A and B are shown apart, each in its own frame.
Chain A
Amino acid sequence: MKVWAIANQKGGVGKTTTAISLGGLLAARKQHTLLVDLDPHGSLTTYLGFDPDQVEDSVYVLFQKSGGDPAPLIRSSKFECLDILPASTALATLDRQLGAKSGMGLVIFRALAQVAGRYDYVLIDCPPMLGVLMVNALAACERLLIPVQTEFLALKGLERMLHTLAMIQRSRETVLPYVIVPTLFDRRTRASLQVLRELRERYPARTWDAVIPIDTQFREASRAGAPLPLLHPATRGSRAYEDLLDYLLGTPRVLKVASV
C-alpha cells in the first residue's frame, strides 16, 4: 500500500481536484484506492456524494478514539475500486479539542496500518492549514504532492509549506519526498508563465516538468460527482493528470510536456 498526501497551506490550489483525479485514474487502472478526506470543508466527501454535515461515521471518529480500525468508517463510492474515508464538519474542532496532545499526530498512520492489505493506494486530501490533521497526513504518507497554483501568492504559500515540511521531518527524523505540481496553469497569462519559470528555477528537481492546465471541465466533473478522467478522459485536464500519474508511478507514457 502506497500512501500519498496532497497538501498545501494555501487554499484553492487544486488539492481536492488532484486527489479525486488521481484516485479516479488509479481506480480505473484496477488499483484499489482509498481517498481520505482530512479537510473539515469535506469537499472530497461532497464530491463523492456524501454530506460532511450529516455523515456520522467519519474520520473524526478515529480522532475521538485516538485510533482504531477505520474499516467500518470507509464508504464505497459508485466507482469500482474507489473508496472514501469521509470527512465531517466536526473535524474543524479537533485542534481545539486536542491541542498538542502527545501522539495525536499519528492517528491516521496507525489507522491506515490496519487496512494496509486492502488497498494499493491511499490518497489523503489535506486541509489548507497547519494543524493536527495536516500533521497526521504528513506523518502517514510516504510521498507528498504539493499542488501549486501558478500565480504569485502561491510561491509564498509553497515556501510556508516547505518550511512546515522541514520541521515535521525534523520531528520525525525522516525525509519525506515531495513533488511540486503546477496547477491552474493558464498559458495566456504572464503570471502563469513567470511563476512556472520561477518554480522550475527554484525547485528544479522537485517540480513536475508538466502542468495541470485550467480546464472548465473540472467544474463540470465536480457537479457530476465523477473524477474528470473517468467522465471525460480526452479533456486537457484529464490527460494532464494521467501524465502526472504516470510520472508518479515512474512509468511515463509518451512524454507530453506542455509546450510552455
Chain B
Amino acid sequence: MKTRETEQVRTVVDQQLALQTYLDALLRPVIEAVETASEPESAPVRAEMAPEPVPAPPAEQAAPVQAGIGEQAVAPVVPEWAERPFQCLLFKVAGLTLAVPLVKLNGVLPWSNDITPMPGHAPWFLGLLRHQGQSVKVIDTALLVLPENRRCRILPPAQERLRNMILIDEGRWGLACESVSEVVTLAPGDVRWRTSRSARPWLAGTVIERMCALLDTEAFAHMLATGER
C-alpha cells in the first residue's frame, strides 16, 4: 500500500517536473536578446581595471528556482530607487533598447576617438577614456548583453557603430551604445520585475510597454568588475 502511495507521489512529481521542463525550454532564451546572457568570452581580460570574466554556467546549469511546484511565484526584486515613479534614459545597442535609471546615471558622452585601446583584452573591453580627470573604462555593451547567436547583428566595427557612452558606477564605466533616445518616467508597476537574479543579475526587469530591458547599474558594474554574470 505504502509503495503504491509512493509511486503515486512520484508520478505526480514527474508530471510537474515534465511541465516545468517544458515551460523552461520554451522560455529559455527569455526575451532572447533582452533577457538572455551572452556566453562568456573566450579571450581573457588581463588588465587589472577590467578583470577576467568568470565563465557563466550554461543555461541548463543555471541555479534552479527553489520554490515548490504550485506555489505562487516569489516576490519580485524591486530596487529601492524604483519604489516610486522614476525616470529612465533609453538607449540602443544592436537594435535592443535598454533603460538606465537617471538616479544611477553619471552622464552621457559622445563617442570619442580618444579611447585608448588596451591590447590583450576581451573584445567587449574597448579601452580607456580620460574624462574629468578620471579613467573611464569603455565597454561594448552589445557584446555583453546579447547572446552569441544575436551578435551577427553587430556588423560594423565599434568605431562606426557606436555613438554615445552611458556613464555608470560614479563614471568608472562607459557603456558604449548606438544611440540615446529619450527619457521616460516609469511607475514601479510598469516594470516586470524579476523574482530571481540567479542569472543575469544586471537585468532588473523588463518594460513591456517600451519593449526594453531595465538595467541594474550596480549589478552591471559588479559584473564588469568581478566577471560574475
Contact = CB atoms under 8 A, between A and B. Distances in A.
A48 interface: no
B19 interface: yes
Contacts of A173: 30, 65, 194-196, 198
A110 B34 CA distance: 10
B25 A175 contact: no
Given A168-B27, A171-B20, A176 B192 contact: yes
B41 to A, nearest CB: 22
Interface string A137-179: 0011110000000000000000000010011111111111100
Interface stretch (A84-92, A98-106, A222-230, A240-248): A98-106
A109 interface: yes
Given A106-B30, A132-B26, A167-B20, A2 B209 contact: yes
Given A142-B192, A176-B192, A171 B208 contact: no
B21 interface: yes
B193 A110 contact: no
A174 B192 contact: yes
A251 B228 CA distance: 44
A116 interface: yes
A101 B70 CA distance: 24
Contacts of B21: 100
B22 interface: yes
B32 A113 contact: no
Given A109-B31, A139-B27, A166 B20 contact: no
Nearest to B65: A170
B205 interface: yes
A142 B208 contact: yes
B23 A102 contact: no
Kindly state the interface size class of chain B when it binds its partner. Answer: 35 or more
A140 B193 CA distance: 14
B80 interface: no
Given A100-B25, A139-B27, A167-B69, A174 B20 contact: no
A171 B195 CA distance: 10
A169 B194 CA distance: 9
A205 interface: no
A132 to B, nearest CB: 6
B20 A103 contact: no
A116 B210 CA distance: 7
Contacts of B69: 167
Interface in A32-77: none
B24 interface: yes
A116 B97 CA distance: 12
B76 interface: yes
A177 B211 CA distance: 17
Given A163-B70, A167-B69, A168-B23, A174 B29 contact: no
Contact of A102 (B29, B70, B193, B198): B29
Contact of A166 (B26, B71, B208): B71
B23 A106 contact: no
Indicate the member of A106, A110, A130, A176 with the most B CB atoms within 10 Å: A106
Interface of A: 1-3, 100-106, 109-110, 112-113, 116, 130, 132, 135, 139-142, 163, 166-177
Interface of B: 19-32, 65, 67, 69-73, 75-76, 189, 192-196, 198, 205-206, 208-211
28 contacts: A2-B208, A100-B21, A100-B25, A100-B26, A101-B26, A103-B28, A103-B32, A105-B23, A106-B26, A106-B27, A106-B32, A112-B211, A116-B210, A116-B211, A140-B208, A142-B192, A166-B70, A166-B71, A171-B20, A171-B23, A171-B24, A171-B30, A173-B30, A173-B65, A174-B205, A175-B76, A175-B195, A176-B192
